[in-house]
A = this chain, B = another copy of it.
Amino acid sequence: MSRESLEERLRAIGAERYHDKHPFHDKLHGGECSPDQVRAWVINRWAYQAAIPMKDAAFLSRCTDPDMRRAWRSRIEDHDGGINEGGGLRRWLKLAEAVGLDPDYVASGRGVLPATQFAVDAYIRYVRDMPLLQAVASSLTELFAPSIHERRIEGLLEHYDFANTESLSYFKTRLSQAPKDVAYGLEWVLSHADTPEKEDMACEALTFKTNVLWAQLDALWGAYVEPARIPPGAWRPGEGMA
């Protein structure tokens, strides 16, 4: 039992379960998604993006240490941004526009798959209600995010006409934001998971979070790839176009 062995266990969870292993990402990054499949991804991942500042606020709402709150607050600033300039959420809507969608439709959340909404809502509740160690550990999927973002930028630029510096600015920006956040979160988890029971709790939290991400892609696949059975009320090709 040591910091090193816990970090190895956490990284092994990512290696086995992070959503870069999901076939939807191979399809997306390999240029094999139809325009409507890309749109469905943009619409549904909005639900996740929109939930991030709410889950980080849920974290602040139960964090009694002002120093930790001061460090954590930048996550909300990264995604919501300032009143005029916005942040990650507005960058995501640039991508929505680039793929031909009406950004107001995307921002409304209408058309999001219920399974996706359930998954992201479960994440907010987890961060609000579970032990603090697990609330922090659930953020550690950021350990694995920069490499998927790099592959995504490269793959989208190679295969899709909509891809350019502006439309992909969300991912580019995350390349520099995520490492700062994960350095803080990883250090905190490694310092505070100081018993075998707590190490297990941290690993369970990270596993839970990989499930939140994976479930969204399974829902996307089922609705828009195979069997391509769109559930009642979810986005249908042609809706919400600019």
Contact = CB atoms under 8 A, between A and B. Distances in A.
Work out how many copies of this chain go into the complex. Answer: 2
Given A61-B124, A128-B61, A53 B69 contact: yes
A165 to B, nearest CB: 23
Interface stretch (A25-33, A70-78, A213-221, A232-240): A70-78
Interface string A111-136: 00000000000001000100000000
A58 interface: yes
Contact of A54 (B63, B80, B89, B109): B63
22 contacts: A53-B66, A54-B61, A54-B62, A54-B64, A55-B61, A57-B58, A57-B59, A57-B63, A57-B69, A60-B60, A60-B61, A61-B61, A61-B128, A66-B80, A66-B89, A67-B83, A69-B76, A70-B80, A70-B83, A70-B86, A71-B83, A73-B77
